Amino acid sequence: MVTLRQLTYKNIIFDLGNVLVKLDEQATMRGFEKLGMDRYEHVRENPKALCLFQGMGIGLVSDREFFDGFRKLTGSQASDEQITEATNAMLRYIPNEKKRILLALRSAGYKTFLLSNTINLHWRYCRDKLFPMDSFTVNDYFDYTFLSQEMHMKKPDDEIFQAVIAQAAIRPEETLFIDDLEVNCAAAERNGLHTFQNEQFDDWVDVLCMSL
């Protein structure tokens, strides 16, 4: 049973990676290396690969363009499925405890939202593989999901926070935004939201829940 703290907020906006989903970015980099990419610690070290990801992240690069671009970049004959598997290798799990907290928040009358810079491949995997629990699906955890690739904008730009506030019809001063990146929290505060930077994977659980 989830025991919630008495919160001063009416709305909570959650980030996805390293807030709800445990990430292992090195797993994806190892997968890319096996498919012919040079060894990198992070995709941002490879400008051409980063361009592909950033384009997907705001919906300007399709899955097909991403697959073809990856093969051209690496000179490999990797299949779409192999590229997808490597891309999604970083997505480890969502603890059931966190799913139960999301359900408890909604049951208690709080509005919950997801705001994520993500790509189609990652989102589909999370939606289909990581969020389901018993009979619950992603639609049971959130009032609405705001995804960068669908909105064609991204954090930490002001416009995405302004769009979320308007579309969700929420008051910023009544809203808590939880993200693992300081730059995104700073942007949210700039747009009137209260914030919590989730530096360790489970930090926000202690903020929202009472110890049993």
Q: For 83-128, how does the pLDDT look when each residue is reduced to its tens digit (9 = 90+)? A: 999 999 999 999 999 999 999 999 999 999 999 999 999 999 999 9
Peptide bond into 156 cis (omega under 30): yes
Q: Which among 17, 46, 45, 42 has a CA at the least distance from the CA of 29? A: 42
Counted domains in the chain: 2
At 195 the pLDDT is 98
At 212 the pLDDT is 42
Examine the domain organization and report whether 60 and 79 are in the same domain.
yes
Examine the domain organization and report whether 108 and 157 are in the same domain.
yes
Q: For 141-183, how does the pLDDT look when each residue is reduced to its tens digit (9 = 90+)? A: 999 999 999 999 999 999 999 999 999 999 999 999 999 999 9
| Residue 5, in any domain of the structure | no
Q: Is pTM, for the whole model, over 0.85?
A: yes
| Residue 6, in any domain of the structure | no
At 208 the pLDDT is 96
Last residue of a domain, one of 88, 115, 136: 88
Indicate which CATH number applies to the domain containing 133. Answer: 3.40.50.1000
Band of pLDDT at residue 1, cut at 50, 70 and 90: confident
Mean pLDDT of the chain: 96
Examine the domain organization and report whether 78 and 175 are in the same domain.
no
Who's near 15: CB < 8 A, 6+ residues apart? 114, 115, 116, 178, 179, 180, 181, 184, 198
Structure tokens of 88?
């999604």
Indicate which CATH number applies to the domain containing 80. Answer: 1.10.150.240
Show the domain range for 37: 25-88
Q: What percent of the chain stands above pLDDT 70?
A: 99
Examine the domain organization and report whether 74 and 155 are in the same domain.
no
Band of pLDDT at residue 42, cut at 50, 70 and 90: confident
